[in-house]
Amino acid sequence: MDAFDVIGPVMIGPSSSHTAGAVRIGRLGRAILGEPPVRAEIFLHGSFARTYWGHGTDRALVAGLLGFDVDDERVREALDLAPAEGLEVSFGEKDLGDVHPNSVQLNLEGRSQTVSVVASSLGGGQVVIKKIDAFSVDMGCELPTLVATYPDRPGVIAAVAALLAGGGINIASMRVSREAAGRQALMVMETDQPVPPGLLTAMRSLPMMERVIAIDPV
């Protein structure tokens, strides 16, 4: 809590939860996909579904998917700008179950990857990623965050931790979940320092690693 939290943030109105938070969710979706999305199916839940139109939640989500920041005046025109940016968007409503009222599911398709993300906007622009594909996560993305998928085998966590330690990167939190023993696993790590590109390349070339995504705080 500091002076610029209460005289700030600088943002596009009208709502920190329904607009600024939605831009951040879009940006995180784009980061998790790891490339610019070309198609996005957006399913709004709860209060997002009821009041998206007057709050510009739809424009804000698309603005984030286009990589715009929360204070970019193009947020307002994001729906009109999307086609020129090569992004095709469709909207729907969906009951996402027991989640925060301001929640959304993004089904994203890029040139080489697809991903489905469920995220919630908690107020004041704060957001949390609740699901990536079939995996439940709890990512606030206030710190640099790494998401890795790999087959559930012994030694992967140790190898990743050793690489980070070697690079002088401190792990702030780590959470691992898996589909079932021996099946695909997903690791989410928050680090105190951003992970430099060289270290990411080294992680990606670990023998059992499938995907490694680095998400900068947005």
Partner 1 sequence: MTRYSFRNMAELLALAGNEGLSLAETVIRYQMEAEGKTRDEVRAKMAGRLKIMRSAAQKGLTEDVRSQSGLVGGGGKLLEEWRRSGRGLSGTVTGRAIAIATAVAEVNAAMGRIVAAPTAGSCGIIPGVLLSLEAEKGFMEEQLIDGLFTAAAVGMVAAKQASLSGAALGCQAECGVAAAMAAAAAVEMAGGSPEQAAGAAGVALQGLMGLVCDPVGGLVELPCVLRNATGAAHALAAADIILAGVPYYLPFDEVIAAMVEVGSSLPASLRETGTGGIAACPTARRLVAHLFSGEKDRQRIKD
Total of chain residues touching partner 1, rule CB under 8 A: 40
Shortest distance in whole angstroms from residue 53 CB to partner 1: 5
**Is residue 41 close enough to count as binding partner 1 by CB under 8 A?**
yes
**Please, is 67 exposed, middle or buried when counting C-beta atoms within 10 Å of its C-beta (0-12, 13-18, 19+)?**
middle
Q: Residue 21 or 187: which CB sits closer to partner 1?
A: 21
Retrieve residue 158's tokens.
């140790």
- Name the one residue in this structure whose structure tokens are 């490694």: 212
The answer to whether 120 and 128 are in contact (CB under 8 A) is: yes
**Is residue 76 close enough to count as binding partner 1 by CB under 8 A?**
yes
Element (H, E) at 202: helix 197-204
**Is residue 59 close enough to count as binding partner 1 by CB under 8 A?**
yes
**Pick from 55, 100, 130, 131: which binds partner 1 (CB under 8 A)?**
55
**Is residue 56 close enough to count as binding partner 1 by CB under 8 A?**
yes
Q: Residue 103 or 187: which CB sits closer to partner 1?
A: 103
The answer to whether 108 and 40 are in contact (CB under 8 A) is: yes
Element (H, E) at 103: strand 102-109
Write out the residues near partner 1 by the rule CB under 8 A. 1-16, 19-20, 41, 43, 47, 50-51, 53-56, 58-59, 71, 73, 75-76, 90-94, 123-124
